[in-house]
Amino acid sequence: MRLFVALDLPWEIKEELSELSFNLIGARWVPADNFHLTLRFIGEASRLQAEEIDLALATLRGRSFAFALSGLGWFEKAGRVSTLWVGVERNQDLAKLQAKVESALYRIGLPPDRRRFTPHVTLARMDSPVTPALTQFVQAHNLYRSAPIRADSVTLFSSFLGKDQPTYTPEAEYALG
């Protein structure tokens, strides 16, 4: 099973993000149900590893906090846009939580994530060069800012890669504070 640890988003925020998700050629829009903020992608895990991950995440301690989504951008791979995203305002509590998740998973033997944590919510997957249309789309929506979002829990999700879009299933939720 493929696993990742994330903050789920309230439905109102998911609806706001889905209202941004149109009018860009080449974008494969993420369904509103799938919007989340990944804290750590784990990948393939056996049933035993999944149980160890669950136990490790159950030991997380921290207070709930608020964060806000802000601005749009994209990630590139080999000169091609791979992901269109909405960013997250700098937040020390979010960075601490992500570090705690990383430490908990490291203690049970998962190798550390080599990528720098760049908090974001994926709006669309793409495979195209940067185009004027993409640049205009990002500029037109770059002032987007969500209302404060309460982070009260962390969720362990499983991911099933389907033909069109992956299906994400919450497997366990871990309360903060």
129 pLDDT tier (thresholds 50, 70, 90):
very high
Q: What's the mean pLDDT in 135-149?
A: 95
- Average pLDDT across the chain, whole number: 94
Supply the CATH number for residue 18's domain: 3.90.1140.10
CA–CA distance, 103 with 109 (Å, rounded to integer): 10
Phi, psi angles (nearest 5°) of residue 162: -90, 180
Q: What's the mean pLDDT in 102-115?
A: 93
What end-to-end distance do the CA atoms of the chain give, in Å?
Answer: 29
CA distances from 168 to 11, 33, 87, 171 (A): 15, 8, 21, 9
Q: Is the pLDDT of residue 105 over 90?
A: yes
146, 30 contact by CB (below 8 A)? no
The pLDDT score that the predictor gives to residue 136 is 95
The catalytic residue among 14, 36, 40, 100 is 36
Q: Does residue 141 have an active-site annotation?
A: no
172 pLDDT tier (thresholds 50, 70, 90):
very high
Mind listing the pLDDT tens digit for each residue in 65-75? Answer: 999 999 999 99
The count of structural domains within the chain is 1
* Domain that residue 74 falls in: 2-175
Global pTM? 0.93
Mind listing the pLDDT tens digit for each residue in 2-61? Answer: 999 999 999 999 999 999 988 899 999 999 999 999 999 999 999 999 999 999 999 999
User: Other CB atoms closer than 10 Å to residue 143's CB: what's the count?
Assistant: 9
Q: What's the chain's length in residues?
A: 177
The catalytic residue among 6, 20, 120, 151 is 120
Say what percent of the chain tops pLDDT 90.
Answer: 86
Q: Is the pLDDT of residue 160 over 80?
A: yes
The pLDDT score that the predictor gives to residue 134 is 94
